[in-house]
Structure 1
Amino acid sequence: MKLAMKYVILYVNDFEKTLHFYQHILGLPVKMQQGTYVEFDTGATTLSINTRGSVREEIGLDVPEALSASQTFEIGFVVEDVAATIETLRVQGVTVVKEPVMKPWGQTVAYVADPDGHYIEICTVIE
């Protein structure tokens, strides 16, 4: 069996705020939208969002309400200049969780959070 990652779906609380964050602050183009389900063009793997209520109602998955911010996983975006990207996001009011640092393996890494508290790694390519 060969598996290929096609998409990741984030379950969100505030659809409009999250859509604005990914589309206008991070600048991800919308590939497709159907109600509260949105796919963003991020390259080979699609990032999607949908509301928890919609997933419960339309798909029938038992998705609980978020009682706190979700930090059980992270999504990552590769950029050329981590420090400049973090400053651009900071100016737009994005919560910076970890400032840029150079890792022992030569990669620069920083973290921000989306409106639901999902961790987003902003990093350089591992060389």
Structure 2
Amino acid sequence: MKMSMRYIILYVKDVEKSKEFYRDCLGLPIRGEHGTYIELRTGATILALNSRKSVQELTGLQVSSSHSLSQTFEVGFVVEDVKAVIEDLRSQGVPILMEPVMKPWGQTVAYVADPDGHFIEICSSMD
């Protein structure tokens, strides 16, 4: 069986606020919008947003009405200049969770938070 990741959907409290963050702060182009469901272009994998309420109504699955204080995943974006991106995001008022640091394996990594508190890794390429 062959599988490939096509998309990740973040369940968010405020779709418009999240759309503004990902589109305006991170510069991700909108691929499509269908009601509360929004797809953003990130390369080979689509990052999508949808409201928690809509997901619960569409799927019948139990979705928490607010984000948990316990983070269980992160979304990572590779950039050419981590420090410059972090300074740009800081100037836009984005919460910086961890300043850029060089990891022992040679990668520069920093973390910010989106409007729902999801961890967003901003990092250099490992290639």
TM surpasses 0.5 = yes
Deviations 1:97-124 (A, max 9, x none): 0000000110000000000000000000
**Structure 1 stretches of 4+ moved >2 Å:** 67-70
1:75-114 counterparts in 2 under 5 A? 75-114=75-114
Which letter does structure 2 place at the counterpart of 1:38?
I
DSSP 3-state at the match of 1:63:
coil
Deviates more, 1:37-46 or 1:59-68: 59-68
1:63 counterpart residue number: 63
DSSP 3-state at the match of 1:17:
helix
2:16 counterpart residue number: 16
1:35 counterpart residue number: 35
For the 8 Å contact 1:70–1:118, the answer to whether it is kept is: no
CA offset at residue 65 of structure 1?
1.1
CA distance 1:32–1:96, shift in 2 (3 Å): same
Mapped to 2, the partners of 1:30 and 1:11 lie a distance apart of 17
Question: How high is the TM-score relative to the length of structure 2?
Answer: 0.96
CA offset at residue 70 of structure 1?
5.6
Deviates more, 1:53-62 or 1:35-44: 53-62
CA offset at residue 59 of structure 1?
2.3
1:72 counterpart residue number: 72
CA offset at residue 57 of structure 1?
1.1
Gaps of 5+ in 1: none
CA distance 1:11–1:38, shift in 2 (3 Å): same
DSSP 3-state at the match of 1:61:
coil
Deviations 1:36-84 (A, max 9, x none): 1000000000000000000011222211212544621000000000000
Gaps of 5+ in 2: none
For the 8 Å contact 1:70–1:117, the answer to whether it is kept is: no
CA distance 1:104–1:44, shift in 2 (3 Å): same
Question: How high is the TM-score relative to the length of structure 1?
Answer: 0.96
